[in-house]
Amino acid sequence: MHRRWSWLIAILIVSIPNALHAAQASVLVDGTVVQRTWDVPFETIGNFVSIDLGMDGTEELVVGNGAGHAPSIAILREDGSRLNTFVPFAHNEMHGTNLVVGDVDGDGALEIVVANAYGSDPLVRVLSTFGELEQEFYAYAETFRGGVNLAVGDIDGDGVDDIVTAAGLSGGPHVRVFRNDGRLITDAFVFDTSDRSGVGVATLDVNHDGRRELMVTHFGKSTPEARLVSFTENGVALHEPFPTYAPRYVYGTSVFPVDDVHVAIAPNGHGGPHIRMFSAQGEVVKDWFAYEADVRDRVLISASSLNHIVTARATPVLVSRLDRHIRVDLSEQHLYAYQDGVRLIDFPISAARRPWKTPTGEFSIMRKLPIHTYRWFDRAGNLLYNLPNVEYNLEFTPHIYIHYAYWHNNFGRPMSHGCVNAPYDGIKWLYEWANVGTPVVVTQ
């Protein structure tokens, strides 16, 4: 039987322009590092797997796009040159493509299992290595938009790889195990049910009994710890979690398989490229910095042993600022709301048009008015406009508000005399979510 693999999926939540069509990676073999350039149709990698797709003794690279690019999977030779490219989802699903590789139907050939990252529905697809659709199913409620992290491995001991899904950012710690056609085998909540940081997941076979266990981590803002999870005939065993980094690091971690009894764990950004390899019991067996110590990108890993490791840099999973805050980008005419490092919502706005200005800088919500009337007078006291009964008003500096604008639908272009005009659905959500004191950052 061929080697079984499980791979954690990267989730990227920022848009990056598609320009260079190449990405950089490092290969570490027995202490020697070789730099590689990958020919991919996107500038930034979302995730990747190094695996022998053709089962001919030569490894290929399966590389998925990051957020901000149309969904794409590139199949590369080991040297980084491209063999094939295909599209796993609709072109407008620009959230990042998560993927794992395994023999999930037991036919002796490998399949590519894909899901969208944060921002899209939890649809899981099973593709041939040529990109042909074989199966698809929803791993969670169709309304869930936190993304799906993936792993593969034989959990129930029947000799066939199962599909393991883990709820992504903003989701509960819900891990589910499926057959390739979407039939549920088992599931578990692997951390406290109130946790909303999402789960990173990989599989390993600690007992060498053909039934794989899971190693899980907190994917978003939370304590840096990992936990072994065992599925047995008697139920689910949640082993005691062990620390992976200093407690002050709270940006989430990714876990990657190395062999049957080891995993690699890396920060999800903003913490230095510090890779640590652990036994299933939490003992550190190897650690090093994959890049210069001041690098703050996320590090992705694909390893076939403790001494053969491929790494690539990716955009951090979370934004660096972790508090609840609002960002208004005047250059984009767009508003973003964040909490715990996760972008919760974004929508187009209309800020000031010339010669008026929307003030820039950092402010905070001063007061919330469910209904407000806006009047503007010239210096002679003549009424220039009167806009009564405006809903959902958030004042963030004297006389300047984020508010609904029922008198136009031209959002995305400057329109106002200084306030931030917003569409109804967006401002309604923002008004209910924001508190007095919530920071508002306005950038040019």
Catalytic machinery residues:
403, 419
Nearest to 302 by CA among 293, 312, 294, 291: 312
CA distances from 149 to 97, 152, 361, 386, 399 (A): 10, 11, 36, 51, 45
Contact assessment for residue 287 and residue 279, using Cβ atoms and an 8 Å cutoff? no
SS (H, E, C) the chain: CCCCCCCCCCCCCCCCCCCCCCEEEEEEECCEEEEEEECCCCCCEEEEEEECCCCCCCCEEEEEECCCCCCCEEEECCCCCEEEEECCCCCCCCCCEEEEEECCCCCCCCEEEEEECCCCCCEEEEECCCCCEEEEEECCCCCCCCCEEEEEECCCCCCCCEEEEEECCCCCCEEEEECCCCCEEEEEECCCCCCCCCEEEEEECCCCCCCCEEEEEECCCCCCEEEEEEEECCEEEECCCEECCCCCCCCCEEEEEEECCEEEEEECCCCCCEEEEEECCCCEEEEEECCCCCCCCEEEEEEEECCEEEEEEECCCCCCCCCCEEEEECCCCEEEEEECCEEEEEEECECECCCCCCCCEEEECCEEEEEEEEEEECCCCCEEEEEEEEEEEEEEECCEEEEECCCCCCCCCCCECCCEEECHHHHHHHHHHCCCCCEEEEEC
Query: Which pair of structure tokens corresponds to residue 124?
Result: 């899981």
Q: Which of 228, 226, 227, 245 lies closest to 287 in space, CA to CA?
A: 245
> What is the rounded CA–CA span in Å between residue 392 and residue 324?
19
